Amino acid sequence: METRGIEPVPEAERRARPRELFSTWVAANISVLLLTMGAGLVVTGGLNFWQVLVVSLVSPVLSYGLVGLISIAGKRGGAPGMTLSRAVFGQRGNLFPGALIWVARWGWETINAVTGAYAGLTVLDILFGIRPSTPLTIIVLVAFVGCTFVISGLGRKVLNICTAWSTYLFGAFSVLVLVHLLMASDWSAVFGRPAGPTAMMVTGVGTVAAGGISWVPSAPDFTRYIPRSAPGGALVGYAVGGAGLVVAPMVMMGAVMAVSVPDLSSTSDPVSFLGELLPTWIAVPYLLMALVGMLLINSMSMYSAGFTALTLGVRVPRAWAVSVNAVISLILGYLLINVVQNFIGSFVSFLSLLAVAFSAWIGVFGADMLRRDSYDAAALMDTSRTSAYWYHGGFAWPAMTAWACALVVGLLFTRVDWFSGPLASSWPGRNGLGWLATIVVSAVLYMVLPKRAGS
């Protein structure tokens, strides 16, 4: 069990290697929701095979390029991302973006818990003919979240072992699905689709990339055990490569499936839908892999959420800090399964709002990285007025101002089921690039705002 909390890892204890990150970012993307995104690019976006291919390749480069760049801060400071954020926003100021990002994690973990529960219920139905019911749903959801809590509570070494094996298993089972698609798909229909508008390609890139953006604040959490001497380019390369290995083929598989089964893009339960779409000999192992993937994604998210809770002042051991998010994801997961009917709509709306909260932080933190190459370990852990990161009343006002302004700007570009900003109809808003505009605004504002000594 990993016993270290948010305190920076001494250089002598940093024995991790950059290549371990490859399986980490593979595991972070093993989600059947990528299939529904790929289907949506064809059915809703009207894109053809080659356009979807471009979207599936560009999206992970854009989003996980940012993940890799921000992860460099982890090896520089040896601490989790939200703890390093104290150096940017101030000891008190960091509580604001930290709390917002922590709350956003609740939704991400809830989405994953619900998808994992769907996978478990579907496998039980296929193998044993056990039909879903409310009591069974609760049991499967509790079991899923419980496993997530155990893995994330044990910490980094267990996560590394699990993500490494999941990479091998995902590759093997994906080959089965690809073979089935090669044999069963109407390729003349797949390649015969006319090209869609370029604007929809841009929208597709923005939508698919938004999922990766949500991992950026957590990126340093997985690199703090890597020596400072490790090349930063390797961290970026393994992040992009690991994510691309999953995102591109799964988005493409969803696009190919949608040509003959367009309902894949709008199903309320993408997991059971796949159980009906694929032959049993492929569906069962693939859904089991989807279950493992959701379990690991949630474990990684809770692992990071535990650090965020500790940074916000929750005074418990790291292993127990993740229990707070576990309980919340159980409650929200039950509500999402039994109350909210439009699952995919809720998912897309959540991603849109999530990207705003994360993007405002990314721009400020990333711009700050350009002017600092180290972090004061003692100052990070000192939350009193004596801390070098206390600044002015506990706030670094240039960072806080840039973050707050960018948050408002991001909301102006956002449109979800229950909210539409006045700039949602602009080019960035229409094309799902509000998160990118938010990052640019926050970074530029932070760089141009005057800074007094010590801030």
Residue 270 is predicted with a pLDDT of 67
In single-letter form, the type of residue at position 360 comes to A
Distance CA 160, CA 24 (A): 7
413: closest CA among 443, 384, 437?
437
DSSP helix/strand/coil, 23: helix
Q: How is 49-70 classified by DSSP, letter by letter?
A: HHHHHHHHHHHHHHHHHHHHHH
Contact 391, 438 (CB under 8 A): no
Q: What residues pair up with 392 in beta bridges, in sequence order? A: 395
Residue 369 is predicted with a pLDDT of 95
Distance CA 166, CA 168 (A): 5
Instruction: Tell me the domains of the chain and their CATH numbers.
Output: 15-448 (1.10.4160.10)
Distance CA 98, CA 313 (A): 11
Q: How is 275-289 classified by DSSP, letter by letter?
A: HHHS-HHHHHHHHHH
Residue 454 is predicted with a pLDDT of 59
Q: What is the dihedral of CA 316, 320, 322, 327, to 10 degrees?
A: -110
pTM attached to this predicted model? 0.88
- Apex 112 CA angle, 254 and 129, nearest 5: 75
Residue 85 is predicted with a pLDDT of 97
Residue 455 is predicted with a pLDDT of 61
Contact 28, 211 (CB under 8 A): no
DSSP 116: H
Per-residue pLDDT of the chain (455 residues; tens, 9 = 90+): 877 889 999 999 999 999 999 999 998 888 877 888 888 899 888 899 999 999 999 999 999 999 999 999 999 999 999 999 999 999 999 999 998 888 888 777 887 788 778 778 877 887 788 887 878 888 888 898 888 888 888 888 888 888 888 888 877 777 777 777 778 788 888 888 899 998 899 989 988 888 888 899 999 999 999 999 999 999 999 999 999 999 998 899 888 888 878 877 776 666 666 766 777 777 777 778 778 888 888 889 888 888 898 898 887 777 777 777 788 888 878 777 776 555 556 655 665 676 788 899 999 999 999 989 899 999 999 999 999 999 999 999 999 999 999 999 999 988 877 778 898 888 888 877 888 899 999 999 999 998 766 56
Contact 440, 361 (CB under 8 A): no
